[in-house]
Structure 1
Amino acid sequence: MATRMMLLVGTKKGAFILEGDAARRDWSLRGPFCETWPINQVIADPKTGTIWAAGGNEWFGPAVWRSTDGGASWTHSSAGLAYAAGETPIKSAWSLALGPTGTLWAGVEPAGLFRSDDGGDNWTHVTALTEHPSRADWQPGGGGMILHGILPHPTDPDRLWVAISVAGVFATEDGGASWAPRNRGTRQDYAPEGERYPEHGQCVHALAMGAGNPDRLYQQNHCGMYRSDDGGRGWTSIEAGLPSSFGFPAVAHPRDPDTLFLLPLNGDQAGRFMPDAAAAVWRTRDAGASWQALRQGLPQASAYFGVLRQAMAADTLEPAGVYFGTSGGALFASADEGEAWSCIAEHLPTILSVEALVRDG
């Protein structure tokens, strides 16, 4: 059967879908979907093709949308997606992930985690994370106090990592009944001297997992780029050779645990755009020991755009395709692991997330 490519794009004004074939040269665009709600992340089940979109705001409230027909029609649910009466209301659903046994996880703002065991119809609050003793110290980052990253273990449903701004990385090994911070070795540059390596309180921006090695994690932090080889219990800086220690998205190769794609920005106080206003995706083939800038086809002048934490993805084809969307609404694609790039969509709303789905049929 023919391979069918879909790019799932979340934006400030709804979700969009781009469709192409295995060549990844020609794309068609559909959308906006989800009634043009702000959509923070869109994911899909590669086995069934079901699509979920997390979004909302303080006006609409939070919800997770679902499509079972490739985006032709959508429903949404917020049943159970709420904190107890008297607590700060949830503004939006921010992140999604599908576990190995079909559990759907959702991260929200203010930071918390919910699970659904019926495909998103009903949600249950994972209270042990919100009740962690460090909770009183969690602070909002530039985008709010959000749980923006969820990494399920690929085979063990009890293991899960989450990323919270500003609180750090937390992990569970018992299905969410208990949680432990996993931040040792990551800096907090804005803390007083002598307090820059705390147990929690770091501003993690993105998490990625090495293919075939669930204990190999990569982290783009507000204050550096890191790798862990023990499931986040300890982190090693791998930012040497990069143009900046600051950025948002980090995407792992689908087959090689030593290959990672990264989009550094010029710094948190310098505009948060492409370094020297020249766009590049940086790639490591040796787990961060060295980095290469990939620029062919990307704008090398006046590139004053940013790329947000969920707005980069890789597909599972050979060679892997890599994609990223910009704050200015442009979507770039590479069909050869970043060697050459082309712009496949322009003038979209601010792109908040990109996900690649490969299906037969």
Structure 2
Amino acid sequence: MPPALRAHRARALPALIGLLGGLLAGGPVATADDHTAGAGPAAVTYDLDTAGRRAAPHEKAAPYSKTAKYDWKNVRVDGGGFVPGIVFNRSERDLAYARTDIGGAYRWQEASKSWKPLLDSVGWDDWGHTGVVSLASDSVDPDRVYAAVGTYTNDWDPGNGAVLRSADRGETWRRADLPFKLGGNMPGRGMGERLAVDPHDNDVLYLGAPSGKGLWRSTDAGATWKHVTDFPNPGDFRQDPGDTTGYNSDNQGIVWVTFDESTRAPGGGRTQTVYVGVADKANSVYRSTDGGGSWSRVAGQPTGLLAHKGVLDAENGYLYVAYSDRAGPYDGGKGQVWRYATRTGEWKDVSPVAEADTHYGFSGLTVDRQHPGTVMVTGYSSWWPDTQIFRSRDSGGHWTRAWDYSSYPTRENRYTMDISSVPWLSWGARPAPPEQSPKLGWMTESLEIDPFDSDRMMYGTGATVYGTENLTEWDTPGSRFTITPMVKGLEETAVNDLAAPPSGAPLLSALGDIGGFRHTDVTKVPPLMYTSPNFTSTTSLDYAAARPDTVVRAGDAEAAPRVAFSTDNGATWSGGREPAGVTGGGTVAAAADGSRFVWSPQGAGVHTATGPGSAWTAAKGIPQGAVVEADRVDPRRFYGFKAGAFYVSTDGGATFTAKASAGLPAEGPVKFQAVPGKRGDIWLAGGKAGGAYGLWHSTDGGTRFTEVGGVQEADTIGFGKAAPGASYQTLYTSARIGGVRGVFRSTDAGASWVRINDDRRQWGWTGAAITGDPKVYGRVYVSTNGRGIVYGDTAAK
């Protein structure tokens, strides 16, 4: 599956994503066109068990003896990715949800002021369902919540989307599979919400689909879904019609659904007036006034822009629509805000800034339900010098800004920011005015005022959730409201590599988008990510086994350096030289004594250097793009692997020799590691379904490998402190053993295994990295693709 890295800066996302094999989220679905509610046969649905997974038979063989009890927690980073949606329940105080593009959904816990993850039960085969394109919280029955899930609409995600439904606020789920894909990590994912529950008949839901699949409706609380064929426009906007990957060329489709709760049918029943936003610059807003029986384009609407969001103030009879010229979340150069009077049919431009003066589009849009004339909107794509938030107390007649210029470039802010709980949000930056650190945000497509508390507002950015609990100070001259991170418990980093040195910090991480961290305490948020240099994504890191203060990392950046060295266990860094042709980080390895390094960057061949900052010399005998690692005892031995061949160097990486490696994976990603304290002891995991795919072991430096029996698939391998009484390090892997996908541990060099996670804790895709703790038996650190770093300890009896 693709490692779905988000970008916190505008860049070509498809170039970051490699296809790592197909993991099909199976299941057919019978569908029917739907002209009226309840018409047509029911769609086939799949029930999930209490862990939230689809029940499926396992293979009969079970070469692991039992499941060990483990306590699991997150290594604390707090945030780290894009939060495109925040949804408050309209009938119950303090009930709120957040959705992420690849990291699942969360529920707000008021008592602890933190978020609780709700989709950790999504398993390996259904990894795409960690991408949440929309959420809906039922205001008739607050126990009900719905999530529309699926990560990509192109072939990067081989499975179709689904609508998950819960009757216990996301503690457990049931699933209705859809006959099309959804795009939680696609362009336009900040639009919405695409999923909505009728506020009067809560068995009725609507879902706006991408890819030209139209509008869908459920009349049985999300159990079955039918196509609304009378809806006239499936959308036509594509970010880049010429994109052959299908990522930017997909039709954005139907992007939001909004009910007018003031239009309940006489005598009760469903809401009569429903507004739908469509990704079509000429025809963006449609309406039904007969409970979804028929639909028509709303007359007089503006054209030329995309309707990102539509929010209704039913009390005053106004539908607000935030427009941008692009789908976002990275781009958008022009925008407007319009107000539609639902009782008179009048459209009025109420933009906070004239379109000619914008360099951004509008998106994050909310109404104060306690004071409906108060409306707020964000300039979501204002990257420089900062995002902007606008506020009106007279239904869009007049606006004030979160910040303005007192005298350029000096800014005057209506707010103060306190990031002491998540200090890395400063990015270590010292920008010149008018930029400030920390920034107010970027990619600010979600913004919501608490419907029960005019003082509480939350908004999502490309890295966190910010919020305030004294918002109305905005309106008092001379006063400032306080913005703080409201992100505790929401862990959204995509993990590329992990290292647990035998001394110094317990954990070093290589992360997408925010580089990575040196954790001196995994229960606390670290002060700053790696700097000097910053990488947009760190792709690989390593420490010298006998001198763990020596650390090297490599990563992606817009320009050199893309490799960095530390001599104090990752506390401080200095950038290194790089050979010609480097375009990305690749993999990097440190000699056991820290005397040499081998680097296999993207865009250039494998190279070796004699020390930090030394010039790189091209290695011989090993192909470009090989994965490289170091022996953990012999400082002259390095290893490489590519396309089924294993390579060994005994001269510090200057030359490599291909070894006999029959039976090793010729396709698919491979991870391998050398065992600390044992010269030439190597474990290799990887492969691809349909070919060689498993776990192999060599005790002679890679000359011969033996396949480990009973392991059908393995994707990672790592080592930790040996079990009491054992002489060999504990092995950890993310694998399929005995037909069961999970995280496994072996204390007897792979002769037997125990599963240490469970069906409620699967975290989607865990195939990037794993490592045990060399100082604490049983502790393991597991990478996820959007749920951060999880770590487990043997549960106390």
Q: TM-score range by the shorter chain?
A: 0.5 to 0.7
Cα distance in 2 for residues equivalent to 1:229 and 1:78: 32
Identity %: 17
Cα distance in 2 for residues equivalent to 1:122 and 1:256: 30
Name the structure 1 match of 2:540: 95
Cα distance in 2 for residues equivalent to 1:323 and 1:274: 24
Moved more, 109-118 or 351-360: 109-118
C-alpha change, 1:333 and 1:11, in structure 2 (3 Å) is farther
> How much is the aligned-residue C-alpha RMSD, in angstroms?
3.3
C-alpha change, 1:264 and 1:42, in structure 2 (3 Å) is closer
How far apart are residue 329 of structure 1 and its match? 7.7
Is residue 293 of structure 1 aligned with residue 738 of structure 2?
A: no
Three-state SS of the structure 2 residue aligned to 1:332 is: strand
**Which of residues 132, 147, 154 in structure 1 aligns to 2:586?**
147
How far apart are residue 264 of structure 1 and its match? 4.2
Name the structure 1 match of 2:637: 216
Note the alpha carbon deviations across 1:14-65, whole angstroms, 9 max, x for none: xxxxxxxxxx9543211163222222223233223432222232xxxx3332
Residue identity opposite 1:357 in structure 2: D
Is residue 337 of structure 1 aligned with residue 793 of structure 2?
A: no
Is residue 281 of structure 1 aligned with residue 703 of structure 2?
A: no
Moved more, 110-119 or 212-221: 110-119
Three-state SS of the structure 2 residue aligned to 1:359 is: coil
Conserved? CA contact 1:225–1:245, under 8 Å: no
Conserved? CA contact 1:219–1:250, under 8 Å: no
Cα distance in 2 for residues equivalent to 1:260 and 1:274: 24
| Aligned pairs (5 A) from 1:37-116 | 37-57=493-513, 62-82=514-534, 90-99=535-544, 100=547, 102-110=549-557, 112-116=562-566
Residue identity opposite 1:160 in structure 2: F
Conserved? CA contact 2:562–2:585, under 8 Å: yes
Cα distance in 2 for residues equivalent to 1:63 and 1:290: 36
Cα distance in 1 for residues equivalent to 2:772 and 2:614: 31
How far apart are residue 256 of structure 1 and its match? 2.9
Residue identity opposite 1:46 in structure 2: P
Note the alpha carbon deviations across 1:326-354, whole angstroms, 9 max, x for none: 59983222211122223322512322211
C-alpha change, 1:360 and 1:243, in structure 2 (3 Å) is closer
Three-state SS of the structure 1 residue aligned to 2:670 is: strand
Conserved? CA contact 1:216–1:229, under 8 Å: yes
Note the alpha carbon deviations across 1:283-326, whole angstroms, 9 max, x for none: 12233333221123x3x4xx5xx72xxx3212353222222225
Cα distance in 1 for residues equivalent to 2:751 and 2:650: 27
Conserved? CA contact 1:208–1:218, under 8 Å: yes
Residue identity opposite 2:728 in structure 1: P
Cα distance in 2 for residues equivalent to 1:64 and 1:51: 10
C-alpha change, 1:223 and 1:114, in structure 2 (3 Å) is same
Name the structure 1 match of 2:610: 173
Conserved? CA contact 1:51–1:67, under 8 Å: yes
How far apart are residue 249 of structure 1 and its match? 0.9
C-alpha change, 1:115 and 1:329, in structure 2 (3 Å) is farther
Three-state SS of the structure 2 residue aligned to 1:63 is: coil
Cα distance in 2 for residues equivalent to 1:321 and 1:121: 28
Residue identity opposite 2:697 in structure 1: R
Q: Which stretches in structure 2 are left out of the alignment for 5+ residues?
A: 7-66, 80-491, 778-797
| Aligned pairs (5 A) from 1:310-329 | 311-317=716-722, 318-325=727-734
Cα distance in 1 for residues equivalent to 2:597 and 2:676: 19
Conserved? CA contact 2:640–2:647, under 8 Å: yes
C-alpha change, 1:25 and 1:273, in structure 2 (3 Å) is same
Cα distance in 2 for residues equivalent to 1:350 and 1:220: 23
C-alpha change, 1:324 and 1:331, in structure 2 (3 Å) is same
**Which of residues 109, 115, 123 in structure 1 aligns to 2:573?**
123
Name the structure 2 match of 1:355: 771
Cα distance in 2 for residues equivalent to 1:350 and 1:341: 20
Note the alpha carbon deviations across 1:81-125, whole angstroms, 9 max, x for none: 24xxxxxxx431222233427244321114811234555454322
Note the alpha carbon deviations across 1:136-170, whole angstroms, 9 max, x for none: 3x46xxxxx32332x22233x44222222342322
Residue identity opposite 2:689 in structure 1: F
Cα distance in 2 for residues equivalent to 1:31 and 1:347: 13
Conserved? CA contact 1:12–1:349, under 8 Å: no
C-alpha change, 1:31 and 1:259, in structure 2 (3 Å) is same
Is residue 186 of structure 1 aligned with residue 616 of structure 2?
A: no
**Which of residues 19, 28, 33 in structure 1 aligns to 2:71?**
28
Name the structure 2 match of 1:197: none
**Which of residues 633, 651, 658 in structure 2 aligns to 1:237?**
658
Conserved? CA contact 2:500–2:774, under 8 Å: no
Conserved? CA contact 1:312–1:324, under 8 Å: yes
How far apart are residue 226 of structure 1 and its match? 1.4
C-alpha change, 1:11 and 1:252, in structure 2 (3 Å) is farther
Name the structure 2 match of 1:18: none
Conserved? CA contact 2:510–2:516, under 8 Å: yes
Runs of 4+ in 1 over 6 A off after TM superposition: 10-13
Name the structure 1 match of 2:130: none
Three-state SS of the structure 2 residue aligned to 1:331 is: strand
Conserved? CA contact 1:260–1:284, under 8 Å: yes
Cα distance in 1 for residues equivalent to 2:586 and 2:665: 24
Which has the larger Rg?
2
How far apart are residue 360 of structure 1 and its match? 5.7
Residue identity opposite 1:260 in structure 2: I
For normalisation by structure 1, the TM-score amounts to 0.67
Residue identity opposite 2:598 in structure 1: W
Cα distance in 1 for residues equivalent to 2:552 and 2:702: 29
Conserved? CA contact 2:628–2:638, under 8 Å: no
More strand, by proportion: 1
Cα distance in 2 for residues equivalent to 1:236 and 1:258: 15
C-alpha change, 1:231 and 1:116, in structure 2 (3 Å) is closer
Three-state SS of the structure 2 residue aligned to 1:77 is: coil
For normalisation by structure 2, the TM-score amounts to 0.33
Residue identity opposite 2:70 in structure 1: W
Conserved? CA contact 2:591–2:630, under 8 Å: no
Residue identity opposite 1:228 in structure 2: S
Name the structure 2 match of 1:159: 596
Note the alpha carbon deviations across 1:152-190, whole angstroms, 9 max, x for none: 2233x44222222342322111432211122x2224xxx
Cα distance in 2 for residues equivalent to 1:25 and 1:324: 14
Q: Which stretches in structure 1 are left out of the alignment for 5+ residues?
A: 1-9, 14-23, 83-89, 140-144, 188-201, 266-271
How far apart are residue 12 of structure 1 and its match? 7.0
Residue identity opposite 2:698 in structure 1: T
C-alpha change, 1:329 and 1:37, in structure 2 (3 Å) is farther
